[in-house]
């Protein structure tokens, strides 16, 4: 069973993790766990209150197969936690790393987006909010998640393709991922 670590912060975006946590765990057999730079009570952008008891030290000890940073309003503020060392260490250990919406700022600050094709809410969003970001020439304007060399990125408007890319990174069979995409997007056809 592949282990997927989701990193949440206060004011996290409800829609960006829901399919990974709900569908990935209960339907695809992934072991999904939640971690935070500030464990304790967190509130989502939608008003959900959750208790995340595991800190980032526990994430490393848990040895995930995939790490995904979920967006939220903290990432483009001065209160954004610096999780660069954790992300780089996971990536260097062969763990795919993902970020959606504001979570892409954590990847940009860590240098993981400097030389791989990636996306986010907008190219200017990364330039404006991620000190040290040097990947503007590798930025791809995309409505769907972008995966390259074990780095997965997406805009906040792309939670379905982000979930699918995280499932792929976790080893969910391609046929199953394709079925997931077909089912979730069927109402838009």
pLDDT of amino acid 187: 78
- Reference 98, options 119, 80, 81, 127; nearest CA is 119
Q: What is the C-alpha to C-alpha distance for residues 8 and 70, in angstroms, rounded to an integer?
A: 6
Q: Which residues of 70-105 are buried (b: 16+ CB within 10 A; e: fewer)?
A: bbbbbbbeeebeebbebbeebbeeebbbbbbbbbbb
Q: Which domains does the chain have, with CATH numbers?
A: 3-188 (3.40.50.880)
pLDDT of amino acid 151: 98
| β-bridge mates for residue 44, sequence order | 12
Query: What's the pTM value of the predicted model, to 2 decimals?
Result: 0.97
Mean pLDDT by 10 residues, the chain (189 residues): 97 97 94 97 97 97 98 96 98 98 98 98 96 96 97 97 98 96 83
Q: What is the DSSP string of 60-74?
A: HHH--SEEEEPPBGG
pLDDT of amino acid 8: 98
């Amino acid at each position: 069973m592949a282990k997927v670590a989701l990193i949440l912060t206060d004011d996290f975006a409800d829609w960006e993790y829901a399919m990974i946590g709900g569908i990935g765990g209960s339907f695809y057999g992934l072991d999904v766990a939640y971690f935070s730079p500030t464990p304790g009570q967190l509130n989502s952008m939608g008003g959900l209150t959750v208790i995340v008891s595991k800190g980032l030290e526990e994430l490393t000890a848990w040895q995930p197969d995939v790490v995904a940073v979920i967006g939220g309003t903290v990432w483009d503020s001065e209160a954004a936690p610096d999780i660069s060392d954790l992300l780089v260490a996971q990536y260097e250990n062969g763990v795919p790393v993902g970020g959606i919406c504001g979570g892409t700022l954590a990847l940009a600050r860590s240098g993981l987006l400097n030389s791989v094709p990636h996306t986010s809410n907008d190219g200017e969003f990364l330039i404006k909010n991620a000190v040290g970001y040097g990947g503007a020439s590798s930025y791809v304007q995309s409505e769907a998640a972008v995966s390259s060399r074990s780095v997965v990125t997406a805009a906040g408007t792309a939670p379905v393709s982000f979930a699918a890319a995280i499932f792929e990174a976790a080893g969910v069979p391609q046929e199953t991922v394709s079925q997931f995409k077909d089912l979730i997007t069927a109402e838009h056809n």
